[in-house]
Amino acid sequence: MTFKNSVIYQIYPKSFKDSTGDGIGDLRGIIDNIPYIASLGVDYVWFNPFFPSPQRDNGYDISDYCSIDPAMGTMEDFDELVAALESHGIGVMLDMVLNHTSTDHEWFQRALAGEKKYQDYYYIRPPQPDGSLPTNWVSKFGGPAWAPFGETGDYYLHLYDPAQADLDWHNPDVRAEAAKVVNFWRNRGVHGFRFDVINVIGKGSQLLDAPLGTDDRKMYTDGPDVHAYLRELNEASFGQDPDSVTVGEMSSTSIGACVEYTRPENHELSMVFNFHHLKVDYADGRKWTLMEPDILALKRLLNDWSLGLQAGGGWNALFWNNHDQPRALDRFGDADRFRYESATMLAAAIHLMRGTPYVYMGEEIGMSDPGYTTIDDYVDVEARNAFAELVDAGHDEEEAFRIVHSKARDNSRTPMQWDSSAGSGFTDGTPWLQPTNQAEVNVAHEETAGRILPFYKRLISLRKSTPVISEGDYEPYAPDHPDVLAYIRRHEGRRLLVICSFRGHETEIDVPEDFLDGEVFVSNYPARPLRPRLSLSPYETLALLV
């Protein structure tokens, strides 16, 4: 299984490189920078959607699954991109947003125009007898999950923005359309697919109110039909390709469900993204709050997921960052005082684990959250809604801003910082989202004098050359240590002890005797003699191989 020793690079096309000067990234800009991507040593590039879209949710509201957004390029550009990446041995992973379409999509428009066939593609329901909405579910972007279906008096379901109408996967025609979309891209040479929020496609056949005081996500997440639908999609599309690599984005999921999604015998997906480890700074489970990350909870989650997927024969996708998360460097590290140390420690922590690591563009050069100062600097609908809701709920604007600043998705969507110029080498025009610290953090600097980029390159290549990393068993070490995440990997007589300090102060850890004369395999501080009671510097990471 090739994906075990692979590393996947994520590109947010809108923010990677603009070749036309309109301030928006495009496919040509990516093609021009393939030498950089290849220099990282990665095996696949996952691209966020670049299909036609009214951009209510930055391309996750797709109006045509089988074309390229003209603002991003043409189908010829796409074919060139696939071929050019392939010539470097790099595969393409496309983002399949098949839980919902844009309300501009032809299917929804024909449904609105009265065509029964297409009305059956969506969840269109009358109000309840008392006039209330069909269910009490809330949208993940705020407000109710139902919007009026034209002038009909009925409502359609949107778990996300009102511009994103949920597809009804109970309808076999919808499932056939989904396979058709995947096969369209397979026929253009694509072997990799990321399935957006795929564990919410198996809603009950009857949509019911969540009992009062309970979490409405339970009513539609990881439903019993998801597995059957995934197996069907697998069989009808990517499963016919022995080289396919797939990852499902699983929202509010469980270890048990993810074992089922990824056990090879089940013929569903190669691996899964889950987000529990990125909620350890959510006070009471609520995203729009300020909280220092709970490191013990983080450790427990990483350990439980590694052990759980291992025991069940499943496979995890390993990541700190993506286009929906604030930069991990600001959440778990210290971008001001220890940028190099904390960036490299975070990298080692997941690149040496059991699973397939993902690197989100800019992470490899230590990019951090932008220094925005007002809500007007943000573009994302989720951030703007959250700010308004926080103010409505009584927070003063300054505090509401601080909260949004700490959690907004735009934090990771700022343009790639190629150099120190005003447009950060991303554009000659006005960037759609402003970069702020490109003077200190940029590719040009990292390539000549930086220390984060070389560290990433080494970790990426180690996974290929070192079976204990790609294949080894996982065992937590010092699980109760309050500051340090540590684990041991084992494979055919070799063992790797990985130590990662999550603190900006010194701390200590006991090193098992047999590791004391091991090889220092990975480290982000100068060499020093190993001691049974080892003191660790701020954000130190150390991997010892015996």
Give the count of alpha carbons within 13 A of 352, CB side only. 30
Q: How far apart are CA 520 and CA 527, in angstroms?
A: 8
Distances in Å between the Cα of 488 and the Cα atoms of 170, 302, 349 are 44, 13, 12
From the number of C-beta atoms within 10 Å of its C-beta (0-12, 13-18, 19+), residue 129 rates as: exposed
Note whether 57 binds ligand GLC by CB under 6 A: yes
Q: Is 196 a catalytic residue?
A: yes
Please, what is the minimum distance in Å from the beta carbon of residue 480 to ligand GLC?
A: 33
Selection from 493, 485, 488, 495 nearest residue 519 by Cα:
495
Please, what is the minimum distance in Å from the beta carbon of residue 221 to ligand GLC?
A: 13
Note whether 197 binds ligand GLC by CB under 6 A: yes
Please, what is the minimum distance in Å from the beta carbon of residue 48 to ligand GLC?
A: 7
Output the CA angle 345-304-249, nearest 5 degrees: 80
* Residue closest to ligand GLC (Cβ): 60
Note whether 380 binds ligand GLC by CB under 6 A: no
Please, what is the minimum distance in Å from the beta carbon of residue 194 to ligand GLC?
A: 9
Contacts of 43 (CB under 8 A, 6+ apart): 2, 6, 7, 8, 89, 90, 91
| Closer by beta carbon to ligand GLC, 184 or else 275 | 275
Phi and psi of 490, rounded to 5°?
-135, 135
Note whether 386 binds ligand GLC by CB under 6 A: no
Continuous H helices in 271-396: 295-312, 328-332, 339-351, 381-392
CB 150, CB 144: distance < 8 Å: no
> Which of 26, 57, 95, 249 is flagged as catalytic?
249
| Closer by beta carbon to ligand GLC, 49 or else 472 | 49
Selection from 200, 197, 216, 199 nearest residue 208 by Cα:
216
Phi and psi of 62, rounded to 5°?
-95, 130
Q: How far apart are CA 308 and CA 293, in angstroms?
A: 23
Please, what is the minimum distance in Å from the beta carbon of residue 252 to ligand GLC?
A: 11
> Which of 61, 196, 324, 364 is flagged as catalytic?
196
Candidate list 160, 220, 358, 502; residue touching ligand GLC; CB under 6 A: 160
Candidate list 166, 324, 363, 377; residue touching ligand GLC; CB under 6 A: 324
Candidate list 9, 51, 60, 118; residue touching ligand GLC; CB under 6 A: 60
| Sign (positive or negative) of CA dihedral 111, 112, 116, 120 | positive
What is the total count of residues that contact ligand GLC (CB under 6 A)? Answer: 9
Q: Is 281 a catalytic residue?
A: no
Note whether 260 binds ligand GLC by CB under 6 A: no
Q: How far apart are CA 401 and CA 521, in angstroms?
A: 43
Q: Which of residues 235-254 bind ligand GLC (CB under 6 A)?
A: 249
Buried b (16+ CB within 10 A) or exposed e, 318-351: bbbbbbbbbbbbbbbbbbeebbebbbbbbbbbbb
Please, what is the minimum distance in Å from the beta carbon of residue 338 to ligand GLC?
A: 29
What is the SS3 assignment for 522? strand
Please, what is the minimum distance in Å from the beta carbon of residue 511 to ligand GLC?
A: 39
Contacts of 333 (CB under 8 A, 6+ apart): 339, 341, 342, 343, 345, 346, 539
Candidate list 43, 77, 196, 268; residue touching ligand GLC; CB under 6 A: 196
Candidate list 45, 92, 97, 443; residue touching ligand GLC; CB under 6 A: 97
Q: Which residues bind ligand GLC (CB under 6 A)?
A: 57, 60, 97, 160, 196-197, 249, 323-324
Enumerate the active-site residues.
196, 249
